[in-house]
Structure 1
């Protein structure tokens, strides 16, 4: 590892090339470039998750930490690692101060792996409009996390109003075990009957203010064609905000999946004994790794977000974002261009 204090983007590129030559490493087999935007308080957690995800999907990791935007003098401190604490691949951790933090893409763009897709993940509150961050515009896929926000419901609404194909949310990823358990249960009922089941309604028991619980209810609503609500359950919900899901089927049948607080869930369905399936609380690295498996638009997420927020037509939106310059240091916050700062040269990029 090499630490560069008060350096430049060109020096970071040269140091990365020098370490590669010294170590005999080559940039081969890289699936993508993972750009991580994190608050200083969350850097260690973000690095751990990115390292775990990189073990599943070889990638170059670029960590961007925007610090002290109001600092009078722009400054860049960088750590360049190959085969260090961030895994066997190449990684750069960049802490940016002053006006440089508003133009992070000027340092990140030269570090992108050639011909490799770009995924940007915010382990921090994401911008209300992602097109105001050039790190979102250059990305093929954008990962946010509504669970970080103080108000999950407002955060989901913001993500829906700003949605573009290629966006996703780790609050949605946390529902994967529940969706898998429900799908397998309904498949079992269909197999017993010999025909497809029809959902007539149901409920999600948990925290109505939790983003994951609302997205799970939205996904079920999009599948059954009727609205399902999140209601307070008799027990305290787990980390995913969901305690149980109860579904009403045709032929006067009911199925239920209830968490048992031991990392599993109990499946209840007609004419069969109760069964237990694993329903673990997955670490952040596993959630991120799941999202890196696909670079195409996540249509089920878009449908769930539509139902959870009431914002329609998400999948029909243009899959291209154009960078809109917004200076957060301006007191009016009206998005006018900063006459004193150099105009970002990054073009609008198509997103998956």
Structure 2
């Protein structure tokens, strides 16, 4: 069921939801959280699709604020999606114009589920300080996506400076499978000294930088990111040890090959993670991600990371050299291919 409401208010929307619940019984009340999505005009449907997918695992009320032009006449249009049109949730799309193009606590407060955690998600650009924004202040978790922001590497640096417990970034979530497999490999090989870490992919995306920082911080070894335009996303991580190279290589999009000294190659299921899977993972926890907090703050500032193009010997600092480089501009297109 889809209901359109033009030039309305949050109070009228809540009243309409209660009316539909009484008349049709299409909405249940077993919601575990409120997901507030702060989207941009023209990009909201992708975010709604991901939220709907995640809602099958985490039943919730989804409030999507779509920011339109601030120069338009101030008004609020809404669309209510219930039942089959909203997955396992109820979706409220708020199209804000003029002064209402700015999402605020006042605008959404009447629509929040009582006594339920609040998760705020910025699918693209996000405020200078997410935790101090009007919506971020009331949220238990704050999800950003530096890879899809206008300036990915400036955004990564910004998140590092403004981090507060409860913040997370989907560029970090995209490398969950890589971290799980690499940690399992190191547990399997036992105590070993890693001399160097090499990460290879199509470009220097925020996800590759975060993976390099995590590995460098945990293994106390320098990391080098090698880029090659013929590749697609992150596809190889090599740990150079005294006993030989331990390598995890994903040449396609579903299966990775693990190579270890003295052992036959092993195939591992490791599909590329899409936006739906990443958002669903982040909604599984409402506590702070302490590992991400450590990596985005102290790790990003102190890790030994360099980057170079395949076939070139010139290296540059990943944190300072990629933000304005051609590789940095390309990185946004590869978001989701880690």
Pick the TM interval, shorter chain. Answer: 0.7 to 0.9
Partner of 1:31: 32
Question: Separation in 1 of the partners of 2:52 and 2:184?
Answer: 31
**Is it true that 1:225 corresponds to 2:220 in the alignment?**
yes
Distance in 1, matches of 2:211 and 2:128, equals 23
Please state whether the residue corresponding to 2:296 is helix, strand or coil.
helix
Match of 1:326 in 2: none
Distance 2:143 2:35 in 1: 10
Q: 1:285 maps to which residue?
A: 276
Contact 1:156 1:309 in 2 (8 A): no
Cα 1:83–1:144 change in 2 (3 A) is same
CA distance in 2, matches of 1:95, 1:25: 23
Please tell me whether the aligned partners of residues 26 and 83 of structure 2 are also in contact (alpha carbons under 8 angstroms). no
Aligned to 1:344: none
Structure 2 residue 198 is the aligned partner of structure 1 residue 203: yes
Instruction: Tell me the secondary structure at the aligned position of residue 70 of structure 2.
Output: coil
The CA deviation at 1:205 is 1.6
Q: How many residues align?
A: 302
Contact 1:245 1:256 in 2 (8 A): yes
Q: Is the 8 A contact 1:79 1:92 kept in 2?
A: yes
Which of 235, 240, 255 is 1:243 aligned to?
Answer: 235
Is residue 305 of structure 1 aligned with residue 304 of structure 2?
no
Aligned positions of 1:153-168 closer than 5 A: 153-168=153-168
Equivalent residue number for residue 16 of structure 2:
15
Matched, 1:216 2:211: yes
1:12 offset after TM fit, Å?
Answer: 0.6
1:108-187 superposed matches below 5 A: 108-131=108-131, 133-187=133-187
Distance across 2 between alignment mates of 1:301 and 1:55: 26
Residue by residue over 1:247-294, the C-alpha shift from the partner in whole angstroms, topping out at 9 and shown as x without a partner, is 123x53320111122521110111210011122122211110011111
TM-score where L is the length of structure 2: 0.83
Deviation at 1:22, TM superposition (A): 1.4
Structure 2 counterpart SS, 1:267: strand
**Structure 1 pair 79–262 and aligned structure 2 pair: CA distance change class (3 A):** closer
Q: Write the distance in 2 (CA, Å) between the matches of 1:53 and 1:222.
A: 32
- Shift, 1:162, TM fit: 1.1
Residues 2 and 127 (structure 1 numbering): CA distance in 2 closer, same or farther, change over 3 Å? Answer: same
CA contact (8 A) 1:20 1:82 kept: no
The residue aligned with 2:325 is none
Offset at residue 170 of structure 1 (A): 0.6
Separation in structure 1 between the aligned mates of residue 82 and residue 288 of structure 2, nearest angstrom: 31
SS across alignment from 2:99:
helix
- Counterparts of 1:165 and 1:271, CA distance in 2: 43
CA distance in 2, matches of 1:243, 1:10: 50
Q: Give, in angstroms, the shift of residue 10 of structure 1.
A: 1.0
1:56 is paired with a residue of what secondary structure?
Answer: coil
Distance in structure 1 (CA, Å) of the matches to 2:146 and 2:231: 18
**CA apart distance, 1:105:** 2.2
Q: TM-score, normalised by structure 1?
A: 0.80
| 2:50 paired residue number | 49
Task: Quote the offset at 1:218 in angstroms.
Answer: 0.9
- SS for the counterpart of 1:78 is strand
Greater alpha carbon shift after TM alignment, 122-131 vs 51-60: 122-131
Stretches of structure 1 lacking an aligned partner (at least 5 in a row): 191-195, 313-352
CA distance in 2 between counterparts of 1:14 and 1:131 reads 30
How big is the shift at 1:302?
1.8
